[in-house]
Structure 1
Amino acid sequence: MKEAQIIKAYEAAKERYAQIGIDTDEALKKLQNISLSLHCWQTDDVTGFENPDGQLSGGIQATGNYPGKARNIEEVRKDIEKAKSLIPGSHRLSIHAIYGDFGGKKVDRNEIEPKHFQSWIDWAKANDMKLDFNSTSFSHPLSGDQSLSSRDKAVRDFWIEHTIRSRKIADEMGRQLNDKACHNLWIHDGSKDLTVDRYLYRSLLKDSLDKIFATKCPNVKDAVECKLFGTGLESFTVGSHEFYMGYAVKNGIMATLDMGHFHPTEETYDKISAMLLFTPEILLHVSRPVRWDSDHVVILNDSVQMLAQEIVWADALNKVNIGLDYFDASINRIGAYVIGSRATQKAFLQALLSPIKQLRDYESSGRFFQRLALLEESKSMPWAAVYDYFCLKNNAPAAEDYIATIEQYEKEVTSKR
């Protein structure tokens, strides 16, 4: 789209929103401060650099075989830089422990150190990004069906050491980048069929977590992530929502809410206000489940819109850390990055542009027809013109213009891999 066209459309939208008491310039200032934590694993289907030819295991899998998958750390970074250039605003990068710069050497997970991620920290500084981190319990000879909840103390000790080291790496990232890094702990632990020792496994997990968090990391925001079930572990998940919610509340850390980790009839947005009353902050994994935790590319659907509305309307933008988590290997991977990131931004922009004061007035006075009518009319307001202007201000392509850029990158770069 041409610059003059974007500006003209924005001025018209600005005037229209002013008629319902909304300052679009103020909304854009707030949107500018919303940083998404992009996920490095969209580039290479969660393979990492321990063993480039390895297979995923332990309750996780990527589907699809679209050409152009990143094969090494240089290609991962190149793809992220390209995606970053097409997403307006300033954003973060979330790294899994298997993405260390190991220099071709075998480094087991209980041996990882900050030095294996120093080049990521340097890269982040050069690209004006902050970093987040994740321990990695899947796709390892000791993964099995249980890791931190294993009956085998040696297995538990291995994963405890790995997670402590992961938190120390996150701590170093936060220290050097002068911004606390979120460390997310998700494990696949569970059982495919009926389980009679649920209490035992959860007791073991609690004990492992207590040992992990005994190590203080001042530059880290700790989070624990629940799940309903995993692939091959359908009957029992040790780290359920109730388990981690209780642990987070008791210990003053964050609970991670992944949009694909609950029952298909549950909506993640409804958990926000409840959790924020009892935990200091929340970590989000914005994703798109289709019948299960299938990690489809995020789109601007009702679930994402309601999530953004709940956060904005609760005045909780400073209490919610927004990360993305999907790894669709069936389409152009950079395209998947950009679609999902921009869809998430659009949802937050719509929430920032909603006439919440009037909506609250209607609700408090029992005028529910008026409330519903205004909610519906808000959907057709010219928010897209405001987002295009946001792209223009951030030197990112507006509207569908990014498609051609990604096609060119595929032609010149990813198709030759």
Structure 2
Amino acid sequence: MSEYKNAVDAFAAWDVDTEAALARLKSIPISMHCWQGDDVVGFEKKSGSSGGGIQATGNHPGRARTPDELRADLEFSYSMIPGNHRLNLHAMYLDSDETPDRDAIEYKHFETWVEWAKTQNIGLDFNPTFFAHAKADDNLTLSHPDQSIRDFWIEHGKRSRDIAAQIGREMGSACVNNIWVPDGYKDTPVDRLAARKRLEASLDAMTEPSHDKAHLLDAVESKLFGIGVEACTVGSHEFYLGYAIRKQMLLCLDMGHFHPTENIADKLSAVSLSLDRILLHVSRPMRWDSDHVILLNDDILAVAQELVSADMLERTSIGLDFFDATISRTAAWVIGTRNMQKALLRALLQPLKQLKKAEAGLDFTSRLMITEEMKDLPYGAVWSEFCNRMDVPNGLQLIRDLDAYQASVTERGM
């Protein structure tokens, strides 16, 4: 407590209220992605196909092989993370003895997840799965030249939206349904416009049925390029930015889906002028879209600072998107989620009034001095206090708990 008291005094000297920061942080849910736990395999009984641009590397022991194993891993991980959060579920993670193809999935195939989420006091988000399927082997789905293939995926998208809307109703919290497709070409296409027109028409058909936004929030996610679509990605940033603005749905900005030198934090306030709400997928691209576990690095800090500075927290759904099979999967969840929270806490502990006043007065010297001096303040003590109040471990105890759980699941095999 003495360390936290000293931190309170240190931040108070900068007119920063640590108690207000902790209260705000507690209210921010992070949507943790289910696919880190099983290397993006899913639980479909039907045989899949190629990854469609999705690839998890490594064979660390302990991969979840069943819905029950995945839920057990999630329960442990949430117990290591302060606050109340959400789970981001993909359509390929149905929990059922039935074997529907993707154009025949129903809410009942995911009802177990909803009942479990209620017991865990977490929210649920959803995603249609447009990859790892025979009808996605051409890396074309909603933009495929074959109308019958497009119809298959349109129906899958409609059913996914219906499922997400029902989840939102049952949970009493709007379910974000995020649409990403792997569509594109390995070599340079002749007619990009035709493919984009097909994608637009398919999206229109898929999202035409109306749902109450209190239950369902549609989002579209762009990508620079992917495996097998290096020459052209049909759903580019420009395509989906325009589409989201026209349709007034959420635009998903995935930190791994842009050129490594692009500043995602800079995009947030820019697109916020045209959109009511944004979806953020936090990832760490080491070499473009390599989806590493996020660190408390400059990129993450900049995103968190922009969300706080631009007063965008209420308008932004924060989700994670990384998968690493070379390390403990539960540790990856815990480390990544906590780092997002740490970044948000640091942003909430900034003396924004002073910084904005200096910037508005063109006093860039003071702005620079303040931001640099703030780096020396005891953020760690405030974070430790947050963990203590939320009754979750920190420091060496966290490492021991993560190691112990990993040892308990090592014998699962692959």
TM-score by length of 1: 0.97
- Give the partner amino acid of 1:16: A
* Distance change (3 Å), C-alpha of 1:54 and 1:152: closer
Identify the match of residue 192 of structure 1 among 167, 186, 202: 186
SS at match of 1:381: coil
Identify the match of residue 268 of structure 1 among 264, 268, 273: 264
Could you list the per-position Cα deviations for residues 323-357 of structure 1 after superposition, in whole angstroms to 9, with x for gaps in the alignment?
A: 00001111011110111001000000000000111
Residue matched to 1:22: 16
SS at match of 2:317: strand
Displacement, 1:52?
A: 8.8
Residue matched to 2:99: 106
Aligned length: 410
Residue matched to 1:83: 77
Q: Whole-Å Cα distance in 2 between the matches of residues 53 and 87 of structure 1?
A: 35
Residue matched to 1:386: 382
- Give the partner amino acid of 1:127: Q
Residue matched to 2:30: 36
Q: Whole-Å Cα distance in 1 between the matches of residues 361 and 25 of structure 2?
A: 30
Identify the match of residue 349 of structure 1 among 331, 345, 348: 345
Q: Whole-Å Cα distance in 2 between the matches of residues 282 and 41 of structure 1?
A: 22
SS at match of 2:314: coil
Counterpart check, 1:232 vs 2:225: no
Residue matched to 1:321: 317
Counterpart check, 1:128 vs 2:124: no
SS at match of 1:90: coil
Could you list the per-position Cα deviations for residues 89-145 of structure 1 after superposition, in whole angstroms to 9, with x for gaps in the alignment?
A: 000000000000122x32100000000000000000011011000000000000022
Matches within 5 A, 1:24-173: 24-51=18-45, 56-103=50-97, 105-143=98-136, 144-173=138-167
Equivalent pair of 2:61/2:412 in contact (CA under 8 Å): no
Equivalent pair of 1:46/1:56 in contact (CA under 8 Å): no
Structure 1 unaligned spans of 5+: 1-6
% same residue: 49
* Distance change (3 Å), C-alpha of 1:416 and 1:108: closer
Coordinate RMSD, CA, aligned: 1.1
SS at match of 1:413: helix
Q: Whole-Å Cα distance in 2 between the matches of residues 55 and 195 of structure 1?
A: 24
SS at match of 1:284: strand
- Give the partner amino acid of 2:299: S
TM-score by length of 2: 0.97
Displacement, 1:412?
A: 2.1
Could you list the per-position Cα deviations for residues 274-325 of structure 1 after superposition, in whole angstroms to 9, with x for gaps in the alignment?
A: 1111011000000000121000001101000000000000111100000000
SS at match of 2:391: coil
Matches within 5 A, 1:236-385: 236-385=232-381
Displacement, 1:414?
A: 3.4
Equivalent pair of 2:81/2:338 in contact (CA under 8 Å): yes
SS at match of 1:387: helix
Displacement, 1:51?
A: 4.5
* Distance change (3 Å), C-alpha of 1:31 and 1:217: same
SS at match of 1:318: helix
